[in-house]
Each structure stands twice: as structure tokens, then as C-alpha cells.
Amino acid sequence: MVALRSTLRERHEKERERLGCSHGPGIPHTQQSLEADIPAEGRPGCPRRPLSRRSLWGLKMIKISASMPATYREMAPDELDQRIQHAKEILGERLLILGHHYQMDEVMKFADAAGDSFGLSRIAAERSDADLVVFCGVHFMAESADILTGPHQRVILPDLAAGCSMADMADIDQVEAAWSDLSQVVDTERVMPITYMNSTAAIKAFVGRHGGAVCTSSNARAVLEWAFANDETGRARSDKVLFFPDQHLGRNTALTMGYQASEMSLWDPAHKNGGLSEREMKESTFLLWKGHCSVHMRFTTEQIEEFRRTHEDALVVVHPECSQEVVGAADASGSTDFIIRYVEATAPGSSIGIGTEVHLVKRLADTYPDRTIVCLDSEVCPCVTMSRIDAPHLAWVLEEAVEGRIRNQITVEGDTQAWAKIALERMLAIT
């Protein structure tokens, strides 16, 4: 384990070096346990399950949690590519590899479908023919895929340490406590809980149980409009929204809908009543959970000013996880898929500054060499948890699957699965 830890740390340092990252040493996020490949025991919504035998494709599949052998780490890129390709060919149509836009090229080139978190959840829900879904993204995305796929399908996250620090900022106990605090002051029947996709299955289940829905950065506005729209009885579904875990997506979306900052309050889970007065709890239309994405918090209005100063007719597009000020200073904001479409629509010769994860920005710059495409933060770090899914892990889980061994399966079960599915399906029905 000590050797594995140092190898991972070395690898992370190399990646930071390669991307010119000047963050402090080590891995800055909370969920980035160095113990890659160790099951996320106790992680809400992903209870550790006993070893089980399941039948897949007529084979006895054995679900085992174990570390990736060091040999994969030592393989040359060409060998890894050949092995991944070979395993893909053997697994054929039964295998579906999904890749989030933030994934590294070494993984993305093997994805059968690429997308933002909304697009990938939709594909997962539709592709019931695929018995094995290998999710190249982060934990909450793989959980959502497992919730939306059928019982005959297995979802694999190649490295279980690929979490999301934002999703960690709201845990189910804190959310239950917040709801209980709220119920002492307002009628929670009139409060709609809305959770960003970047949350645990346990939180999605909470939302489903309380009549709310999941949203992503591509449909947050539609979901919030639904929350305040009239239901079949002709009455508004709710008077107030509790939005978690990303305050910025909540605030930016509410502002686009025409709400004022004065109608929003920040709910700090570290304090009783979220640190709010009873009046604030009663009068706010939006209670925004105090969570954020560390990657998107690095973008500033100064970077945008500098980019505009140094590039003629500069265009700026950012992800809505950026602050209100950054989104306000940009020309456009939207999901990762939106950012790709925005860049696609620009004319050759354009200069585009982008405020999102650097692997996506790099891929766009490579795809459109006739445009100047740069990350707004020249020292930006990658989302290190997304970067945990690499060619060695992909090769390992695929070769194990060929041998009938399912590694790093993500499973959400029981009530959590049922209620989280309701919240996710509400989102799919709204958008």
C-alpha cells in the first residue's frame, strides 16, 4: 500500500507538472483518498456489499474488490491501448464505455459515448442492451448510471477513488438536519428540495422522497421552473427551494430566471438553522447550500479582463459552477456540452477563453487548431479525481471482465435506489 500511495502521488505530481499546475503540494480535495481501488466503504449511497456471484452472459461473474496490479502501471501506452482495444473487441456489444468530457484523452479515445452528466445519464437509461457499463467519470455519475440501468446491468467505475469534492460537501445527515431545522420554522410541504447531479445517491433519494428532483448544469433552469410551476391541482408546486450542494449553480440559475440576490440566502450546514435568522428562512425563495467546486472557484473576473485585454474580439464561456461575478463577466455559460457547442459555433480565427476543467479545454484546442482556445486560468489544475480514471485502470477492469471478474462495481440498492430513481426520472421527464 505504501508503494501504491507513493506511485499515485508521483503520478499526480507528474500530471500537475505536465499541466503547469501551481497549487500547493498534494491533492487538494477531500475525497481523494490515496487508496485507489479500495472500496468506498461507508460512502453514502454506496454501501459496501459482500462478495457476490452473479451470472452475466452465461458466465459466473465474481464481484471482487481488489487493487489494480502494479504491472498495469508499468505498461507502455501502446501496450495499454492494444489491451484495451482487444478486451473491447471480446466484450463486443455487451460493453458500453461512457466518458465524461473531463476525462483524459488516453481514456476518452475508447469511449463509445461522450457527454455531460445529463447526456450520460440519459444514455445509461436508454442502453438496456449493454450488460456492462464502464463509467469513465466520477463516483456520483456512476451511481446515477447504476440507478437508471436495469438489474441485469453492471456499472463499473475503473478507480473507486474518483470522487467529487463538491458532492462531499453535502452529506445525508447534514441534509436531514437542515430539513428538520427548516420544519421548525416553515412548512416544509411548501419547500422543494432540488439536488445537483453532483451529490450522493442518498441525497438524491432524500430529494425523491420529498417530492423534489435532480438537476444538472444543462437543465437547472427547467427544473427550477418546474419547482415553482403549477401542478395538476392548479397550485404552485412550492414556494421555496432548498438547493444543494452547489450554491453557484443555484444562484447563477436563479439570477437568469430573474430572481434577485436578495431573494436568496446561503445555508451553511456547519450552523444550526444554516446560520440564518428565522426571518431569512421564511422570506428567502432560494436556500442555497454552502458548497462549491474547487476547480471552478479558481476562475476570476481578473482573468477574464486580462484575456479580453490581450485578445481582440475575445469570447469567454464558463461553466455555471463558477461564481456569479465570473458568470456575469463571461459572454455565455453552460454545461460542458454547451461549452463544446459554443466553441463549435465560433468562426475560424476566433479567440475563446474558457472557464472549465483543463482536459476539456485542451481537447477543444486540439480539435480547433484554427482558433485560439485557452483556459482562463493559465495555472489551472485538472479535476484530479476525474484524472484518476486512466488507461491502466481501464485496461485492468476490462481484462478482468473478459475473465468474468467484475471489479469496482458501483451498486445502489433498496430504498435509496428506488427513491433516487424517482428523483432522477423526474429530471428526465422535465427535460
Q: How far is the CB of 119 from ligand 13P (least distance, A)?
A: 8
Residue 168 touches ligand 13P, criterion: CB under 6 A: no
Site for ligand 13P in 170-199 (CB under 6 A): 198
**E strand or H helix at 242:** strand 240-244
CA nearest 423: which of 120, 229, 212?
A: 212
User: By three-state DSSP, how is residue 266 classified?
Assistant: strand
Of 218, 173, 229, nearest to 196 by C-alpha is 218
Q: Which of 219, 303, 336, 411 binds ligand 13P (CB under 6 A)?
A: 336
What are φ and ψ of residue 259, in 5° steps? -75, 155
The helix (H) or strand (E) run that includes residue 213 is: strand 213-215
Nearer to ligand 13P, 121 or 284 (CB): 121
Instruction: Note whether 165 binds ligand SF4 by CB under 6 A.
Output: yes
Query: Do the bridges between strand 409-410 and strand 154-156 make them parallel or antiparallel, or are there none, so unpaired?
Result: antiparallel
Partner from ligand SF4, ligand 13P, none binding residue 201, C-beta < 5-8 Å depending on class? none
Q: What is the DSSP string of 320-337?
A: TTS-HHHHHHSSEE--HH
Listed ranges 43-51, 115-123, 219-227, 395-403: which one lies at the site for ligand 13P (CB under 6 A): 115-123
Q: Which does 292 bind (CB under 5 to 8 A by kind): ligand SF4, ligand 13P, none?
A: none
Q: Which does 377 bind (CB under 5 to 8 A by kind): ligand 13P, ligand SF4, none?
A: none
Residue 8's H or E segment, with its range, is helix 2-18
Report the first-to-last Cα separation within the chain, whole angstroms: 45
What is the DSSP code (8-state) at residue 380? Answer: P
Residue 298: CB minimum distance to ligand SF4, A? 10
| Binding residues for ligand SF4 restricted to 12-41, rule: CB under 6 A | none
Minimal distance, residue 360 CB to ligand 13P, in Å: 9
Which span sits near ligand 13P by CB under 6 A: 111-119, 264-272, 276-284, 388-396?
Answer: 111-119
Partner from ligand SF4, ligand 13P, none binding residue 342, C-beta < 5-8 Å depending on class: none
Burial grade of 285 (CB within 10 A; 0-12, 13-18, 19 or more): middle
Interface with ligand 13P, residue 321, by CB under 6 A? yes
Closest CB to ligand SF4 among residues 214, 383: 383
Is the C-alpha dihedral spanning 199, 202, 206, 209 positive or negative? positive
Q: Do 246 and 198 contact (CB within 8 A), yes or no?
A: yes
> Is 117 a residue that touches ligand 13P (CB under 6 A)?
yes
Binding mask 90-129 for ligand SF4 (x = CB under 6 A): ----------------------------------------
Q: Please answer whether residues 409 and 154 qualify as being in contact, where contact means their C-beta atoms are separated by less than 8 angstroms.
A: yes
- Regarding 293 and contact with ligand SF4 (CB under 6 A), the answer is yes
Instruction: Note whether 143 binds ligand 13P by CB under 6 A.
Output: no
Q: Tell me the three state secondary structure of residue 103.
A: coil
Q: Are 159 and 186 contacting, i.e. CB atoms less than 8 angstroms apart? A: no
Shortest Å distance, C-beta 295 to ligand SF4: 4
Query: How far does CA 248 lie from the centroid of its chain?
Result: 15
Among ligand 13P, ligand SF4, none, partner that 116 touches (CB below 5 to 8 angstroms by kind) = ligand 13P
- Asked whether position 198 contacts ligand SF4 by CB under 6 A, the answer is yes
The one of ligand SF4, ligand 13P, none whose footprint includes residue 417, by CB under 5 to 8 A per kind, is none
Residues 6+ apart with CB under 8 A from 369: none
Candidate segments 6-14, 110-118, 263-271, 394-402, binder of ligand 13P by CB under 6 A = 110-118
For ligand 13P, give the closer residue by CB, 188 or 217. 217
Burial class from Cβ neighbours inside 10 Å (0-12, 13-18, 19+) for residue 58 reads: exposed
Name the maximum alpha-carbon separation found in the chain: 63
Indicate the helix (H) or strand (E) that contains 421.
Answer: helix 414-430
- Residues forming the site for ligand 13P (CB under 6 A): 101, 116-118, 198, 216-217, 293, 319, 321, 335-336
- Residues forming the site for ligand SF4 (CB under 6 A): 138, 164-166, 198, 293, 295, 321, 357, 383, 385-386
